Amino acid sequence: MNYIKKNSVAICYKIAIIQGISLGVYALWAFVSALLTGEIERIDTFITENIVYAIFVISIILVAKGFQKLKKFAFTPFLLIQLFAIIIGWPFVEDSDLTTKFFGLVIISSSIFGLVLALLPINRNKFY
């Protein structure tokens, strides 16, 4: 437990980096599969969706880097990212496929772990 408390900021950084990379991989997969299958209803929606994914990926990685460097601006966005990850993971847990449920549980549990670590008093004091 002392290891987790001592390295909690580094663990939170790694959680956020993995979330950012995971979203990037998903966005790339969605982009490539849409191009390969030709299932693009409207090109403007397709372009906008991919721009939004890119902005989210870059933002998550920047917040993770700021969190690692104990920048005050990164604390609240980190918490919001974790809350949104819980919201995103919930439909995965409700799916009938066991693999999807597993990934949903991983998303939700890592986000809750990140929230708990970030909200520890020793960490909150590092940012203020």
Size (the chain), residues:
128
State pTM to two decimals: 0.84
Query: So what's the pLDDT on residue 127?
Result: 83
User: pLDDT of the chain along its 128 residues, tens only?
Assistant: 678 778 899 999 999 999 999 999 989 998 999 899 988 888 889 899 999 999 999 999 999 999 999 999 999 999 999 999 999 999 999 999 898 899 899 999 999 999 999 999 888 888 87
